[in-house]
């Protein structure tokens, strides 16, 4: 069991980045207040990522809630710098909870993003946390690769960043520590401690003292081990690193047991057992402390007290059966306690479990021995490469510093000037393009709305015509035919036939009117001038208006698009004239020039203020504008309030008769609302 305790200890004292367990609670309270009050999401996420590292080691459940909040704030859009920080926090959280697959996933994403975007500080942190995760999952060779790469990165990019250099030196020492290469481990830890005493705070110094204590304990240098442990306990308490504080007590108690100082071991082990639940569940740590207490009281000839702690340890083991391989000391000491109480049966049971685990561990150790030898070889090889790289980097850094300062000013000036010019050009282009697109979208939306409203209005009118006109005539015809069925007198039947024929004539006229309103046959068959003249005849039949139509220079049929749109514009505008003013005479002119077509509608009704066109929300004027736009024409209204007479002028370009393409470009038509 005592060998297991050292393993737990090693994992706990790997340096985590930035703000961690050493953060003072007052500082944490200040950051939590920022999170609650700031409206700035970036500030909030950075504050969340900062306090997460404190709670990972003190209140893991709170850390998870903060991580989820940070993730929600960064999940929109591409993952940038702050999002990458959040990925690192996730990786550290899952590493501490021993969820290796999840930790690897988040750390790989963070490391790749940092490397691609040249965020060297985040890349350094990602390499450090990834190395820790691989140590915690016993992948020592890969861990050494990460730490070596991180150390090289710091030396090349930030040669004066001594804190980060100390961190990676300490972690390289941890790898050698795990491989039981204690002389090399002590060398790296001492290098890290020298830097930390000069540049770092209490927490980082406590880490180095603690790891040196482990190394000295492992090579049986008792006094030096206790000296370093004691200083580490003092510094960890000063730094508020509670996990380290309680784990150190377990380690010191373990060491006292090895030296048969049982009475001295018990206070340390009891302190380790008092670790608050707010630090998160640590069943391995509990099993370690309880098993060591069982051993201590057995050695002090207090079997009853020993079995009390053994029972608690068995409860932890029942809840966490995966820890059975770490219960070797527990079963051995429990069997001894029962033998001391003359309970041979229970003593034998625990001894059998001790033997079974011992045999299993012996087989496992043999299998791991060959793997350890390979790892040690790779480690020594990496160490030589590290020394060589350090020398090369130092030489390269000196050379680069001479050249960098010379080029930096010129490059910065050129880049700044280029960026400013590009930004100004792009800004103007984007502004112009945005304005153009907005105008196009507005025009298209107006056209679409107008077309939809016109279609809906036409459908309603058509339905009303059928229901009120054609439908009633059909009903009347059905009534006459019903009378015919029951009438035998020839004179009456002849009268019914006459009435039915009259109704059929009315139906024919009604159907002709409806067809004319939808699409006059004369427009399709004979063209626009003939259709306008037929429209004038219909309007003149009311004897309320006099409508005249004249055309000049029209020797061929116009394109179908122009004929239909000009006819619909005429209908719309005449409807407006008859609806809104008192015109008695309306003149329609269609004139074809060499390069254009001029279409005018002039009336002698009351004039109006054309500003109304810019305020009114009617669909009629929008329909006219849309149709004019489709023909690439322009439209103008000439009218004055208080003066009789209004003229609508519409100019269209001449189109190729065969392919209907424009010969000359024209302006975009003016727009606005009408009285329609």
Query: Mean pLDDT of residues grouped by 10 in the chain (676 residues)?
Result: 39 42 62 83 82 76 83 80 86 84 88 90 90 84 90 90 92 90 93 92 92 91 91 92 87 87 91 80 84 92 92 90 83 90 89 82 50 51 61 70 81 87 89 82 65 61 64 70 72 75 72 63 84 87 82 86 88 85 88 90 88 71 83 90 90 61 35 37
pLDDT score of 665: 36
Share of the chain residues as helix, strand and coil, in percent rounded to the nearest 5 = 75, 5, 20
Cα-Cα-Cα-Cα dihedral sign, residues 307, 285, 8, 142: positive
Please report where in the chains the tokens 């669909």 appear, as a residue. Answer: 619
Strand, helix or coil for residue 662: strand
pLDDT score of 667: 33
Give first-to-last CA distance, the chain, whole Å.
Answer: 94
Strand partners, 589: 550, 600
All residues at 6 or more sequence positions from 20 whose CB lies less than 8 Å from its CB, including other chains: 53, 54, 56, 57, 203, 241
pLDDT score of 672: 35
Distances in whole angstroms, Cα of residue 611 to Cα of each of 162, 311, 572, 585, 614: 76, 96, 19, 24, 5
Axis crossing angle, helix 619-630 with helix 344-464, rounded to the nearest 10: 90
Report the alpha-carbon distance of residue 183 to residue 176 in Å, rounded.
Answer: 9
Distances in whole angstroms, Cα of residue 356 to Cα of each of 125, 346, 352, 360: 43, 16, 6, 6
Show the tokens assigned to 529.
């001038």
User: In 465-559, which ranges are continuous DSSP H helix?
Assistant: 471-486, 490-518, 521-526, 528-540
- What is the reported pTM? 0.46
HSE on the CB side for 166, CA within 13 Å?
25
Which domains does the chain possess?
20-159 (1.25.40.10), 523-653 (3.30.565.10)
pLDDT score of 97: 81
All residues at 6 or more sequence positions from 86 whose CB lies less than 8 Å from its CB, including other chains: 45, 48, 49, 67, 70, 71, 74
Q: Cα 94 from chain centroid?
A: 21
Report the alpha-carbon distance of residue 70 to residue 60 in Å, rounded.
Answer: 15
User: In 179-261, which ranges are continuous DSSP H helix?
Assistant: 182-199, 202-218, 222-238, 242-258
pLDDT score of 463: 66
Cα-based torsion angle of the residue sequence 246, 252, 258, 260 in order, rounded to the nearest 10 degrees? -110
Strand, helix or coil for residue 365: helix
Strand partners, 109: none
Nearest CA-CA partner of 70 in 98, 51, 96, 95? 51
């Amino acid at each position: 069991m005592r060998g297991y305790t050292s393993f737990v200890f090693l994992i706990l004292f790997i340096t985590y980045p930035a703000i961690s367990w050493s953060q003072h609670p007052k500082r944490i309270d200040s950051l939590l207040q920022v999170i609650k009050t700031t409206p700035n999401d970036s500030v909030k996420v950075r504050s969340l990522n900062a306090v997460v590292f404190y709670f990972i080691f003190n209140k893991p459940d709170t850390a998870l809630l903060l991580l989820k909040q940070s993730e929600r704030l960064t999940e929109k859009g591409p993952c940038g710098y702050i999002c990458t920080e959040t990925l690192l926090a996730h990786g550290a959280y899952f590493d501490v909870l021993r969820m290796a697959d999840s930790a690897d996933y988040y750390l790989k994403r963070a490391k790749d993003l940092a490397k691609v975007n040249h965020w060297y500080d985040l890349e350094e942190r990602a390499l450090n946390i990834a190395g820790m995760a691989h140590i915690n999952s016993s992948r020592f060779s890969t861990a050494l690769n990460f730490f070596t790469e991180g150390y090289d990165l710091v030396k090349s990019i930030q040669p004066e960043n001594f804190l980060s250099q100390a961190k990676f030196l300490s972690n390289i020492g941890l790898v050698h520590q795990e491989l039981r290469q204690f002389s090399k481990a002590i060398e790296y830890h001492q290098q890290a401690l020298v830097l930390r005493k000069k540049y770092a705070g209490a927490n980082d110094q406590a880490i180095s003292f603690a790891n040196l204590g482990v190394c000295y304990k492992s090579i049986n240098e008792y006094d030096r081990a206790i000296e370093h442990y004691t200083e580490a306990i003092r510094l960890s308490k000063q730094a508020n690193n509670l996990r380290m504080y309680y784990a150190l007590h377990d380690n010191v108690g373990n060491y006292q047991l090895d030296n048969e100082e049982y009475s001295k071991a018990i206070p340390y082990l009891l302190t380790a057992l008092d670790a608050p639940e707010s630090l998160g569940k640590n069943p391995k740590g509990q099993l370690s402390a309880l098993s060591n207490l069982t051993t201590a009281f057995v050695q002090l000839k207090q079997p009853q007290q020993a079995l009390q702690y053994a029972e608690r340890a068995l409860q932890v083991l029942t809840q966490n059966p995966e820890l059975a391989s770490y219960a070797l000391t527990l079963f051995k000491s429990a069997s001894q306690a029962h033998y001391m109480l003359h309970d041979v049966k229970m003593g034998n049971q625990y001894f059998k479990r001790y033997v079974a685990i011992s045999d299993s561990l012996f087989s496992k150790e043999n299998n791991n021995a060959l793997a350890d030898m390979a790892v040690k070889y790779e480690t020594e090889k990496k160490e030589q490469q590290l020394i060589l790289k350090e020398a090369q980097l130092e030489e390269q850094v000196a050379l680069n510093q001479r050249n960098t300062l010379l080029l930096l000013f010129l490059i910065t000036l050129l880049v700044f000037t280029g960026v400013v010019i590009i930004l100004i050009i792009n800004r103007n282009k984007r502004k112009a393009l945005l304005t153009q697109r907005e105008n196009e979208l507005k025009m298209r939306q107006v056209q679409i709305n107008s077309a939809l409203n016109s279609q809906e209005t036409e459908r309603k009118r058509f339905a009303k015509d059928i229901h009120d006109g054609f439908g009633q005539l059909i009903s009347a015809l059905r009534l006459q035919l019903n009378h015919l069925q029951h009438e035998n007198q020839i004179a009456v039947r002849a009268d019914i036939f006459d009435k039915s024929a009259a109704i059929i004539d009315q139906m024919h006229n009604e159907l002709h009117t409806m067809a004319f309103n939808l699409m006059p046959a004369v427009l399709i068959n004979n063209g626009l001038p003939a259709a306008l003249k037929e429209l004038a005849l219909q309007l003149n039949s009311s004897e309320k208006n006099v409508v005249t139509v004249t055309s000049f220079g029209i020797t061929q049929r116009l394109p179908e698009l122009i004929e239909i749109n000009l006819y619909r514009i005429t209908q719309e505008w005449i409807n407006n004239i008859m609806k809104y003013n008192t015109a008695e005479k309306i003149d329609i002119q269609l004139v074809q020039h060499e390069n254009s077509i001029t279409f005018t509608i002039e009336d002698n009704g009351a004039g109006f203020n054309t500003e109304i066109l810019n305020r009114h929300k009617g669909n009629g004027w929008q329909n006219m504008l849309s149709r004019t736009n489709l023909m690439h024409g322009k439209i103008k209204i000439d009218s004055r309030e208080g003066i009789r007479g209004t003229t609508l002028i519409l100019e269209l370009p001449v189109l190729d008769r065969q392919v209907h393409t424009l010969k000359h470009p024209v302006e975009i038509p003016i727009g606005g609302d009408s009285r329609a």
